[in-house]
Amino acid sequence: MPFLADRLARVKPSPTMAITALATELKAAGRDIVSLSVGEPDFDTPENIQEAAIAAMRRGETRYTVFDGRIELKQAACGKFKRENGLDYEPSQITISNGGKQVLYNAMVATINPGDEVVIPAPFWVSYPEMVLLCDGTPVPVSYPQNNGFKMRPEDLDAAITPKTKWLILNSPSNPSGAAYAEADLQGVAEVLLRHPHVWVMTDDMYEHLVYDDFRFRTIAQVEPRLYERTLTVNGVSKAYCMTGWRIGYGAGPKQLIKAMGAIQSNSTANPCSISQAAAIEALNGPQDFIAPHARVFKERRDLVVDLLNRVPGLHCPTPEGAFYVYPSCAGVLGKRTPAGETIESDEDFVRYLLEETGVAVVHGAAFGLSPHFRISYATSTEVLREACARIDRACRARSG
Ligand SMILES: Cc1ncc(COP(=O)(O)O)c(C=O)c1O
């Protein structure tokens, strides 16, 4: 009898974390590595939020809390949804978890039976299909061409839905493409979903605050209130508040679903860190004035990287609406040979070549379900970005054929 569960054979460890680990290893071995693979803001957690955590510790808030989050944090999440998204939720419709990641995972454990299908627009965040597989479900990736700006067309969604479809996962702005669905895009998606009342939507709004050029963020339950009863809206403090290490995410949806997710959390991790919850209350209720300046910095970096990459022979980099990623095509370098005489046949070959030859760590598109592309995270300084793009440029010009 095998010791490890069969489902583990279907699951891959996170490729983005693997690249980051390899880059760290090469760096430790003395190589000059520039890593553009991490998915977190390079700003510190704002001071008022840090102070709230310190004060909570001093007050003795160091014990278990309610397993799915303190009422004050649930209320703060309700306030956020009302203020920013025009959505009405009660605290009993909110769950607080160890990051948005656990919210998504709890929802899947709570709802997916073997063989249930989950439609996932590609390119997708690497963890969605793996979570579905861990729940014995079937991920159904839907590819859409770059000329649609990396956004799923309603007709492609319609074609992917079967009687077994349980969820559609939406992620806007997207990791890895940075593409964001405008209101009209969401209306197109919503029209399809209204025709398929058995399909629920899990919307991952983690990058909500990182949108540029006057893009107006909207979330699907706000755009189509008739979907409210079958939408789980997921958000968190990691990206907007520079709190990736604190591990607080939250989800809002129908009470019955939220209760089921709580039952899972109460028997697995129980409450997220009490101190992080105090910090997250301050994040959601406190001053929001640092968010716009951060977004301005990210926009400048995005413009720099898009401009530099579009000068590189063989690469084409669209301008995304949000997040801190670009997802250039490397179709123009496929079939070329490296100075060492190896042919670049895939985006995976290309990123390996970049890492080995130039020390630049990026993630291959195949990991996100859409090739031939690669993902660059521009959540780092402009000096690092300039250096990385110069190295990528040299590497692409150094090909022998
Ligand atoms: C699209 C997306 N969703 C969710 C998460 C997880 O965020 P959290 O830190 O809240 O678990 C990430 C983190 O990289 C992400 O990129």
Least confident of 274-288, 318-332, 348-362: 348-362
Does residue 20's CB lie within 6 angstroms of at least one atom of ligand 1? no
Interval 15-61: pLDDT, tens: 777 777 788 888 899 999 999 988 899 999 999 999 999 999 999 99
211 phi and psi, to 5 degrees? Answer: -130, 150
Which residues on neighbouring strands pair with residue 337, listed in sequence order?
A: 343
Does residue 39's CB lie within 6 angstroms of at least one atom of ligand 1? yes
The structure's pTM equals: 0.96
Does residue 253's CB lie within 6 angstroms of at least one atom of ligand 1? no
Q: Which long-range contacts (CB under 8 A, 24 or more apart) does 159-164 make?
A: 160/119, 161/119, 161/192, 161/196, 161/199, 162/117, 163/198, 164/115, 164/116, 164/117, 164/138
Q: The tokens of 294 are what?
A: 């951060």
Q: Report DSSP state, residue 44.
A: P
Does residue 321's CB lie within 6 angstroms of at least one atom of ligand 1? no
Interval 60-71: pLDDT, tens: 999 999 999 999
Report the separation in Å between the CA atom of 106 and the middle of ligand 1, taken as the mean of its atom positions: 14
CA distances from 397 to 33, 336, 342 (A): 20, 11, 15
Does residue 234's CB lie within 6 angstroms of at least one atom of ligand 1? no
Interval 233-260: pLDDT, tens: 999 999 999 999 999 999 999 999 999 9
Report the separation in Å between the CA atom of 206 and the middle of ligand 1, taken as the mean of its atom positions: 6
Q: How far apart are CA 363 and CA 307, in angstroms?
A: 20
Interval 117-148: pLDDT, tens: 999 999 999 999 999 999 999 999 998 765 68
For residue 125, the ligand 1 atom closest to its alpha carbon is: 1
Does residue 328's CB lie within 6 angstroms of at least one atom of ligand 1? no
